Chain A
């Protein structure tokens, strides 16, 4: 795991505080489950039943003075093919309270900061904070998890309120490290080069009152690919621009949430010198949750994703690939039903089923695996036990 020098400094700071016996706030979670995504390589290549549904995290924070603290979390994740397995620093940053008054709070984070811009992005690996084990793949695309999780860089989080309601503003700039395994998942298994995120720039704002919450955000990111030895791919660039909108309505016994996006992706070179592609995808979900009581929640969701809004059924892509990429790689629509039960304090068991049409959110992204993903319709089921402290 590559670690920027400042993360090492922050790690040492935390370790020395812990060893000195100073007051450090600890929290954590541990979760294990069983999951199957039959007729796809989403979890296992053979589509079989898997126990690769492990999420463990330990976090700590230390207050340096009234306006300065350091916070960090280490996680171990095993999600099968969903993302690379292993231990990673989830976040580790200096948190400076630049403004801390009764009506305005502005915090600046420096280090490895989380993505606070989307509805579930900042705690997507924390089982008891999310509605389902598998999040809507249109937005929370698991193969893009490590890139979308946060950045090594700078973030600003601001809160205020006025007569119209409460307002939140988030801004961040930085880049993520992309591992070799993830490069293969995104570009293709036969690639040997390096994929680097040059930058990602995000901003969003949220307005809310007691029941209604509305938000909108923008993302701009640049990627650079450097050809490796005997690499079928070439040096190239990609730029991604995304617009996201969300709305949530909450009552005491139910919640309705929707998050949608439009994303423009531009490739230059990469496939061959002079290659160029500019396409726009769309997607999003509508989700209803019903709280039978404080412990028991039912969730139903419809998630839709189209790789290219001008080719929603994937036919054009199929023709252009000479039939090697079937049309159902052009979309992925997913219906989900789940139940979660908090059966004891800080314990939850969660179960869900998904019926999926299309394979547009299965890895590898650029050159699809048509051998393992040979069905237009496939299913996922999962069961997970989680404990947090």
Chain B
């Protein structure tokens, strides 16, 4: 299992076990969570799960991984959803639900705090850029 992420990060990005991509740049991850990139390289649709905007893991994902402020991410989603450009991600209420959806949804991507145990998903390595 490829469990690695940049130093100082407090969140782990997880993907469904069948997803073959195991490493992304920060810019590529930003395109996925801003819902512009909708397919994995093998053609599988990407299904994005997010936690509520005030959740510490969401705050950490935005600032540390996406290099964005949470309100910037929210604005992008609203622009997409109300101008036809794209869809909003699926919001789950807890890390437990996040892990369950990651386990059962092919093509899924999500995140949890880095000290959270996970067995049925794989972590994604995020590099700079």
Q: Are these two chains actual partners, yes or no?
A: yes
B71 and A291: CB pair below 8 A? Answer: yes
Query: Of A97-105, A228-236, A261-269, A367-375, which binds chain B?
Result: A97-105
| Among B41, B72, B82, B88, contact of A250 (Cβ-Cβ < 8 Å) | B72
Contact between chains at B85 and A129 (CB < 8 Å): no
> Whole-angstrom distance between the alpha carbons of A129 and B78 in the complex?
7
Main SS class of interface, A: strand
Is the C-beta of A294 less than 8 angstroms from some C-beta in chain B? yes
Contact residues of A between 200 and 214, Cβ < 8 Å to B: 209-210
Q: Using Cβ atoms and an 8 Å threshold, which residues of chain B touch A157?
A: 85
1/0 per residue B81-98: CB within 8 Å of A?
111110110000000000
A61 part of interface (Cβ distance < 8 Å): yes
Check if B39 is an interface residue, CB within 8 A of chain A: yes
Q: Are A91 and B84 in contact (CB under 8 A)?
A: yes
Given A91-B84, A129-B79, answer yes or no on A159-B36 (Cβ-Cβ < 8 Å): yes
Residue B28 at the chain A interface, CB threshold 8 Å: yes
Q: How far is the CB of B29 from chain A (nearest CB, A)?
A: 10
- Contact-residue bracket for chain A: 35 or more
B68 CB–A CB distance under 8 Å: yes
By a CB distance below 8 angstroms, the chain A residues around B27 are 161, 166
Q: Which of B28, B38, B71 contacts A100 (CB 8 A)?
A: B38
Contact in complex: B30, A25 (CB < 8 Å)? no
Q: For window 119-170 of chain A, which residues contact chain B by CB distance below 8 Å?
A: 122-123, 126, 128-129, 157, 159, 161, 163, 166
A-B contact count (CB 8 A): 91
Chain B interface extent, by class: 20 to 34
Of A122, A166, A252, the contact of B69 (CB 8 Å cutoff): A252
Contact flags (1/0) for B16-55 with A, using CB distance below 8 Å? Answer: 0000010010011011000011110101010000000110
Contact A126 B38 (CB under 8 A): no
Contact B84 A102 (CB under 8 A): no
A161: which B residues are within 8 A, CB to CB?
Answer: 27-28, 30-31, 129
CB distance from B81 to the nearest CB of A (A): 5
On whether the beta carbons of B84 and A93 are closer than 8 Å, the reply is yes
Q: How far is the CB of B61 from chain A (nearest CB, A)?
A: 14
- Residues in A85-115 with C-beta less than 8 Å from chain B: 91, 93, 95, 97, 100-103, 105, 107, 109, 113-114
A159 nearest CB neighbor, chain B only: B36
Binary per-residue interface labels of chain A (248-270) against chain B in the complex, 1 for a CB within 8 Å, 0 otherwise? 00111000000000000000000
Nearest first, the 5 closest Cβ-Cβ pairs linking A and B are: A71-B84, A122-B83, A161-B27, A126-B82, A102-B28
Question: B residues touching A (Cβ–Cβ < 8 Å)?
Answer: 21, 24, 27-28, 30-31, 36-39, 41, 43, 45, 53-54, 67-72, 75, 78-79, 81-85, 87-88, 129
Residues of A within 8 A of B (CB): 25, 27, 29, 57, 59, 61, 66, 71-73, 91, 93, 95, 97, 100-103, 105, 107, 109, 113-114, 116, 122-123, 126, 128-129, 157, 159, 161, 163, 166, 209-210, 250-252, 291, 294, 388
